[in-house]
Amino acid sequence: MRKEFFINCYYHPVTSAIGQCKYCQRGLCPECAAVVDDVLACKGRHEDEVHQLEQLTARNLFQAKRVRSVYMRNAAFYGMVGAAFAGFGWWQLKWLGLQAMLFIALGLFLLYAAAANYFEGRKYK
Ligand SMILES: [Zn+2]
Ligand SMILES: [Zn+2]
């Protein structure tokens, strides 16, 4: 049992609350509570506000997912190009010498960028 459910209805101080309004955090009894998008709101008072709050949260989640996918796409791209450069440099090392080292360095740098993007993307869930 969570602590907030021991409070009484804000509008009926003698009735115990079943939950809280997501907008104003006041206790609500079954008579005063309206269910909006799976959460409680003061009936006839904060239904619109709670609906807007929920819309906002849903949009944030959607955006976080988008940011994450951009990071993951960057990570995949850098990883692929980096591996190609490093592989090419490694393969050409015998013939190109120092020039091949530059390819390897560039490849490693891109692999590092890929890892950085990957870990940054993991922050967004
Ligand atoms: Zn009430
Ligand atoms: Zn309210």
Per-residue pLDDT for the chain (125 aa), expressed as one digit of tens each?
A: 444 457 899 999 999 999 999 999 999 999 999 999 889 999 999 999 999 999 888 888 888 888 899 999 999 999 999 999 999 999 998 888 888 999 999 999 999 999 999 999 998 87
Q: Which residues of 81-99 are buried (b: 16+ CB within 10 A; e: fewer)?
A: bbeebbebbeeeeeeeeee
Give the predicted TM-score (pTM) of the model: 0.55
Contact residues for 74 (Cβ-Cβ < 8 A; gap 6+)? 113, 114, 117, 121
pLDDT digits (tens, 9 = 90+) for 55-76: 888 888 888 888 899 999 999 9
**How high is the pLDDT of residue 107?**
96
Which ligand is the nearest neighbour of the Cα of 28? 1
CA–centroid distance, residue 32 to ligand 2 (Å): 10
Residue 98 lies in a domain: yes
In this structure, is residue 52 part of a structural domain? no
Q: What is the greatest pairwise CA distance in the chain?
A: 88
> Is residue 54 in a domain?
no
Q: What ligand has the least distance to the C-alpha of 53? A: 2
Its domain, for residue 26, covers 3-46
Query: Distance from the CA of 63 to the center of ligand 2, in angstroms?
Result: 27
- Number of domains the chain contains: 2
Is 37 among the domain residues?
yes
Task: Indicate if 21 and 67 belong to the same structural domain.
Answer: no
